[in-house]
Structure 1
């Protein structure tokens, strides 16, 4: 048994943990990075990248199938084994890059072990070794939830951590959970020829506000069943599994459980660290410093379940690592505008804050009647842009629209730059592009807020120049 002494100990070698270790070391601290596997980040191994690889194959199949709408006769032949083989091959390339960055860390930085707290700055490893650190960063990530009723049929279950290991596509797939992950994989599987049904106990899709959720629901349910407010009961049936709910039953080869990803905190013995926990067992922390209470302990990434997306994990790891190295001399960091995207087709996104109450206006555009969307045969969805009524300053947006991942970025940048709707309309918009649709919503904000309209400084816009219906 050995005792290691270090300035900063980081528990978890995912996106947040790697960022925390790097920035703590860059700040001059000695560091230790503790992880049981050093398998790579969630994004590269079982999250962002393999899911987008599957979606890319699904987009290709759907594009061929829909080509006849444009006068091009085509019919896809999906080779499930080839699709999944490519997913794993390129996924492994991404993972290899992460592992190479881990291998390049200074010798002695990595400890392959599970850690738990013995005291605020003392960790006990399952190897029998101990770590004494001036500060600790918790970056243990999150893992898939398995609701208790599904434990009895676990031999038929898939999660995001196992679905990409399938050798071939199943004939049928039940999906538990209508969050971004569940819907992305459900739609991809459907487009690749799998019979799919989705079930969720909630009343919204992909964490979207009501109108955007309703728009996405209308699109997706044209292709496959989505039952909201539903908790089906699973049971084994022949070589597969059955789901039963009030008034219905369906059998599937496999079930994908995408019912959330709670933080991996259960084995840390957080009570011994003297931390105050919330009702979910997560340490209370300051999002400006990532510090847990007043202890020399910081938490970053999916482990805190605040903003469980990669770019936030990287940012939080950076803040946590720097402050762990500098403790007790902490520096507050302003957070970026919240941005979440569901890579369904059309994409759903929530940007900034969605106000509820007086003092704000909402500009709207219907992408069912937008020029470029018509050209591409993607006339579906909407975008709502929220702004302060007093001055038209943008505060948030929700959308379900073609090209939504790009529209969301433009809006996030504008909100972070504290632009008004009038400011944004003064920027160049090319024609014809999907982005032009935002002009309709921004003009709507200006009308409601009583703002000057910069596009009328010299002359009126050409009819239909926003890619939608010409203004009267």
Structure 2
């Protein structure tokens, strides 16, 4: 299949709309499965992760960690002063960001001739797409991988270049002098803390009453208390902005009220899926209350149509590793349609790179105490964390009543990304709480902080506690 005698009509087996992580993986897997593919995107700018997401934010956080380490060195008896060079910080962020983006673009350029079509697409039928370059695509199956973009409510319009989102914050030539962050989710908090540790005066406000997308109130409240020592976080408030000469007046009312005069506002109140311009009505798909196609998480298929959806476009698990997994499933199934295979979804894992790091693993109920058994450890006295002047936060482990296996965990603690991976793998492997507790724990490590929580769960599950569990506790671990 390929170009027809009519140059305005393109024919293929699988058309992929969107060249982000999900789209690139979907195209590759569809082609690997033997399909003739088209990858349609208006920009081919590289993935969200490389351009405006995961990687540039971690570059900023790395600089913030270095500055914070210097300011905290006095606790270890070391006299040092941090001098933050804002332009140099941003140049490094941009230099490495651009290198990562170019690496992604280089992979796109290696795709077979004729695969990439630079255009915007919209449905004219379940199997047909109209492109804004005048061409039309006919495909046996279509994959929607259009990603998501930050939303800008009317209350924050009119701020010009003083309004920042993840799309433009990494292009700043200099750090803001002060920053109002609207949104206490993962993106808002990562940027807020990084900017604060680089010397920016930061205030965070949010309409909700939890932070970092954490489900367990005990963990969310603990993280809120820790971060509030560095910058104010006002929850349960409605915020608005008014330009004020060369500044912006950010004000809020609700559970608390106040205002701050800031040089910039960083907006992180959500990233809705890029679906509005797809003309989904022509695709004859059932949509949910948010206007997102109803789909099967195991196949990525939308109803019984030859249409699949993957990545941030479906707003199910808006994380890079999930986008890649979904793209692989969607690509394979689109190529094999109507012979669609169901896949196993991996254990949920999400990480917020604040300090301390927050993470959720597996099944984390909104009301952990009511629905599941809980074991916990307070890291304020954990041995290795105390040695490193990072003794804060804690972890909560969950197991289903009547069971024996670890079901999930939520935490905010030093280097939680590593413990989160270990626990995720343990859940994937079906390990019981008893087996985890009987595993080796080196001393002194942060991993030892799991042991009190595991002991709690063993007791709650009424499992036996041999001497090495009950009496082998090392003080300070």
TM-score for both structures, normalised by structure 1:
0.96
| Cα shift at 1:455 | 6.1
Q: Give yes or no for the alignment of 1:456 onto 2:456.
A: no
Q: What CA distance in whole angstroms lies between the structure 2 residues aligned with 1:433 and 1:49?
A: 28
2:393 to 381, 395, 399: 381
The secondary structure found in structure 2 opposite 1:149 is helix
Q: Secondary structure at the match of 1:267?
A: helix
Q: How does 1:11-410 map to 2 (within 5 A)?
A: 11-208=17-214, 209-246=216-253, 247-355=257-365, 356=367, 360-410=372-422
> Mean alpha-carbon deviation: is it higher for 380-389 or for 113-122?
380-389
Q: Which secondary structure does the structure 2 equivalent of 1:341 belong to?
A: strand
Give a deviation string over 1:193-224, Cα, whole Å, max 9, x none.
00000010000001112111101111111111
Q: Which moved more, 1:150-159 or 1:324-333?
A: 150-159
Paired with 1:358 and 1:167, the residues of 2 have a C-alpha distance of 49
Task: After TM superposition, give the deviation of residue 440 of structure 1 in Å.
Answer: 1.1
CA deviation after TM superposition for structure 1 residue 154, in Å = 3.6
Question: Residues of 1 paired with 2:51 and 2:192: CA distance?
Answer: 19
- Alpha-carbon offset, residue 358 of structure 1: 5.3
Q: Distance in 2 between matches of 1:62 and 1:139?
A: 38
CA contact (8 A) 1:425 1:455 kept: no
Structure 2 distance, partners of 1:203, 1:8, is 43
Q: Which consecutive unaligned segments of at least 5 residues does structure 2 have? A: 1-6
Give the Cα–Cα distance (whole angstroms) in 2 for the partners of residues 223 and 423 of structure 1.
39
Name the CA distance, whole Å, in 2 between partners of 1:181 and 1:218. Answer: 18
CA distance in 1, matches of 2:324, 2:301: 16
SS of match in other structure, 1:231:
strand
- Superposed displacement of residue 297, structure 1: 0.2
CA contact (8 A) 1:422 1:454 kept: no
Q: Distance in 2 between matches of 1:54 and 1:233?
A: 27
State the Cα RMSD in Å: 1.3
* Conserved? CA contact 1:363–1:445, under 8 Å: yes
The Cα offsets for residues 156-188 of structure 1, whole Å up to 9 and x where unpaired, read as 200001000000001101001000000000000
Q: CA deviation at 1:460?
A: 4.1
SS at match of 2:159: helix
Is the 8 Å Cα contact of residues 123 and 130 (structure 1) preserved in structure 2?
A: yes
Deviates further, 243-252 or 163-172: 243-252
Q: Matched residue of 2:261: which SS?
A: strand
| Counterpart residue number, 2:444 | 432
Q: CA deviation at 1:359?
A: 6.2
Q: Is the 8 A contact 1:367 1:382 kept in 2?
A: yes
Structure 2: distance between partners of 1:42 and 1:245 = 31
Separation in 2, partners of 1:322, 1:231? 44
Over 3 Å counting, the alpha-carbon distance change for 1:448 and 1:462 in structure 2 is closer
SS of residue in 1 equivalent to 2:439: coil
Question: Post-superposition shift, 1:461?
Answer: 1.7
In structure 1, C-alpha distance between the alignment counterparts of 2:249 and 2:345, rounded to whole Å: 45
Shift of 1:401: 0.7
Contact kept in structure 2, 1:144 and 1:258, CA below 8 Å = yes
Partner of 2:3: none
Partner Cα separation in structure 1 for residue 474 and residue 436 of structure 2: 20
Q: Tell me the residue number matched to 1:2.
A: 8
1:334/1:393 CA distance change after superposition, 3 Å: same
SS at match of 2:451: helix
Partners of 1:20 and 1:3 lie apart in 2 by 22
Structure 1 position 413 matched with structure 2 position 425: yes
TM-score by length of 2: 0.95
Bigger shift: residues 430-439 or 120-129: 430-439
Which deviates more from structure 2 when the two are superposed, residues 44-53 or residues 447-456?
A: 447-456
Deviation for aligned residue 1:454: 5.4
